[in-house]
């Protein structure tokens, strides 16, 4: 009998690894000319909150939903920011670099799934941040695995 496939959360190293990732990432953001203005004045616990979001997305415990309000809270944080493609792309670039610096697993399968989520999630954040955007106000936190996430269909 074969072992069950681990979640991306477990494969990454759990909460500790994701907190190391987000601390590394936001240290870079604080010094970045493109992203620093977006995050200026961020709550000191912001990196931990993002780690909790990523943990839940990658198959870990529902900490973000239970403690921070899940998808509706994340949506509120992005609404009206009018993020730019340059900011989105920089976020992706710094996050992928932080994954290396934080010693997340380097195997191609994990990095492919990780990079795919970062691309997908930042493209949604970009779209949802624009004036007049009308994303669904309620949705579950996405669950990302080794493949791809299914499309969200409200009411389905």
Give pLDDT, residue 37.
96
DSSP letter at 42 equals -
Give pLDDT, residue 5.
85
**Assigned domain for 12 exists:** yes
Give pLDDT, residue 152.
60
17 — phi, psi (to 5°)? -65, -40
**Assigned domain for 17 exists:** yes
**Assigned domain for 145 exists:** no
State the average pLDDT over residues 31-56.
96
CATH number of the domain within which 100 lies: 1.10.490.10
State the average pLDDT over residues 81-108.
97
Place of tokens 């609404």: 79
State the average pLDDT over residues 31-46.
95
Distance of CA 68 to the CA centre of its chain: 14
pTM (global) more than 0.85: yes
**Closest-CA residue to 43 (of 56, 26, 28, 55):** 26
**Assigned domain for 147 exists:** no
Give pLDDT, residue 147.
83
Tokens of 43: 């709550």
**Assigned domain for 83 exists:** yes
**Assigned domain for 85 exists:** yes
Model confidence pLDDT, tens digit, residues 129-154: 999 999 999 999 999 999 865 556 67
Q: How far apart are CA 30 and CA 32, in angstroms?
A: 6
State the average pLDDT over residues 90-119.
96
The length of the chain, given as a count of residues = 156
* CB-based contact 6:105 (threshold 8 Å): no
Tell me which residue range forms the domain holding 112.
Answer: 8-35+50-128
Identify the sign of the CA torsion 11, 15, 16, 20. Answer: positive
**Assigned domain for 87 exists:** yes
**Assigned domain for 153 exists:** no
Domains of the chain: total: 1
123 — phi, psi (to 5°)? -70, -40
**Closest-CA residue to 85 (of 121, 135, 122):** 122
């Amino acid at each position: 009998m074969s072992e069950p496939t681990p979640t991306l959360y477990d494969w990454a190293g759990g909460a500790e690894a994701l907190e190391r990732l987000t601390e590394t990432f936001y240290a870079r953001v604080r010094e970045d000319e493109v992203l620093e203005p977006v995050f200026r004045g961020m709550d000191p616990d912001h990196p931990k909150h993002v780690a909790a979001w990523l943990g839940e997305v990658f198959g870990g415990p529902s900490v973000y939903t239970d403690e921070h309000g899940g998808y509706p809270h994340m949506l509120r944080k992005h609404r009206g920011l009018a993020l730019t493609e340059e900011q989105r792309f920089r976020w992706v670039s710094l996050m992928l670099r932080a994954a290396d610096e934080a010693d997340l697993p380097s195997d191609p399968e994990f990095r492919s799934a990780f990079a795919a989520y970062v691309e997908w999630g930042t493209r949604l954040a970009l779209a949802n941040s624009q004036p007049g955007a009308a994303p669904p106000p309620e949705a579950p936190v996405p669950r990302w695995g080794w493949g791809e996430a299914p499309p969200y269909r409200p009411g389905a």
